[in-house]
Every structure is written in structure tokens, then in C-alpha cells.
Amino acid sequence: NAGVTQTPKFQVLKTGQSMTLQCAQDMNHEYMSWYRQDPGMGLRLIHYSVGAGITDQGEVPNGYNVSRSTTEDFPLRLLSAAPSQTSVYFCATSKGDQPQHFGDGTRLSIL
Amino acid sequence: EDKVVQSPLSLVVHEGDTVTLNCSYEVTNFRSLLWYKQEKKAPTFLFMLTSSGIEKKSGRLSSILDKKELFSILNITATQTGDSAIYLCAVSLNYGQNFVFGPGTRLSVLP
């Protein structure tokens, strides 16, 4: 049982490049979320999904895109990377009112 | 605007000390308050609190919620070096999704 799997673990991009951060879960959780974590700012919600085919914006959605075609996968796309998007990205899943389970994160640097 | 505040932001203690971490919140549609411990990677769940005045305990850690004064505390007794981590407080706003995180308290326990 892998839980929440994020890939890649590390990535370096150049400004203007695009890429997709992957998140996969095998717990059959209906809720999935993407957060970014910056020093001193805790976790900020980027986008979330309450089920396949349904997504919504969080606190800091600009520059990011998501889709949810299956229960298991919730990829996060950076459309045109900017240095301000340098951060650690976490995917989280949950079911009902239960606490979220987090992946190990993707450390992203944009030059 | 929904807000979660934690104090102190950083704390250094010696093994054996007792620490109290604080979390206050101003949110609409409060459902629950959660505490997480984050070491090097993913945050791991500690407690979920929904009712005022009921202490939750797990070993040397305990937590309590005051919904009238809108705060929670996390106590750690007889601290150990393994308690060194960032402790995150989060508030769940509605059913299932939409958690607001505080900035975290970085605890360092020296031998």
C-alpha cells in the first residue's frame, strides 16, 4: 500500500518552461489537494478536487492548472514556470471528515 | 479572510523540558482543528479536535481546543531530540476539503 506518491522528488526548471507534477493515491480517497510550502508561510492551498471530474481553486491558483480524470491521479501543471514558483509542493488526500494524508513532496527550483 | 496564527514561530529547548505551542484562528464555518508534525518530508497527523475542552493525548503529547476563545494548544512533556520538527496547525472549514494552515512552529530540542 503506497499511500500518496509524488513524482518527481526534485526538479530544476528554467523560467518559461512547463512541467507536470504527478500525484497518485491508492487509498480510494475522494478528496485530493495540492499545496505549496514556503519558509514561514505554512502550507497554502493551490487547487483541490472533491472527486473525479471536479476541481476548484484554492488560495494561490495563479500559474497552475489541474485536472482529475480518475480517482487515483491529480496532476499539477505549471504552465510557464516563474522564479516565484520555487517551492516545495505537497499533494494530500482525504476521505470524508478524516485528516489528510500527505505525499513526500516535490522540491521545485526555477532559475 | 480566514486566518490561522501560531506562536511562537521558533522555539529552542533542552531535553526534558515541557513546551506549549499555540494556535489561534479566525475562520468562517469552523469544522475541526488539526495538528501535524513535519520532520524532513510529509506532515504526519497528530490530533484532530472538534469539541471544546476535551483533551486528546498520545504519549507525551496532548492537545485541547477552546472554541469560545478560538485557540488550541499542543503540549509536549519531557521533550526528546526526536521531537524536533515543525508543528503545523490547520483548520478545516467545511465538509472534507479546504484546510487553512498556520505558518508552523519550528521546535528544536537540544540534548
B53 to each of B50, B71, B85, how far by Cα in Å? 10, 11, 26
Residue B10's closest chain A neighbor by CA? A40
For A42, name the nearest residue in chain B, comparing CA atoms only: B103
**Residues in chain A, how many?**
111
Position B60 scores a pLDDT of: 97
Place of cell 514561514: A40
Among the partner-chain residues A33, A100, A105, the one whose CB lies closest to the CB of B41 is A105
pLDDT at residue number B96: 52
Contact A49, A25 (CB under 8 A): no
Q: Is the pLDDT of residue A1 over 80?
A: no
**Which residues face A45 on adjacent strands?**
A35
pLDDT on residue B79: 98
Interface test with B, best of A5, A102, A106, A107 (most B CBs within 10 A): A102
pLDDT per residue as tens digits for the range A14-66: 999 999 999 999 999 999 999 999 987 889 999 999 999 999 998 899 999 99
SS3 letters across B10-70:
EEEEECCCCEEEEEEEECCCCCEEEEEEECCCCCEEEEEECCCCCCEEECCEEEEEECCCC
> Does the structure show a pLDDT above 80 at B98?
no
Model confidence over B11-35: pLDDT tens digits? 999 999 999 999 999 988 888 999 9
Q: Are A2 and A104 in contact (CB under 8 A)?
A: no
- CA A68 to CA A74: how far, in whole Å? 5
Minimum mean pLDDT among A55-59, A95-99, B1-5, B14-18: which range?
Answer: A95-99
For A103, the 3-state DSSP assignment is: coil
- pLDDT attached to residue B99: 87
> Is there a contact between A104 and B45 if contact means CB atoms under 8 Å apart?
no
Q: Which residues of B touch A43 (CB under 8 A)?
A: 43, 88, 90, 99, 101
Answer whether B32 touches A (CB < 8 Å).
Answer: yes
Question: Mean per-residue pLDDT for A98-108?
Answer: 93
B38-94 tens-digit pLDDT: 998 899 999 999 989 899 999 999 999 999 999 999 999 999 999 999 999 999 887
Interval A85-109 mean pLDDT = 93
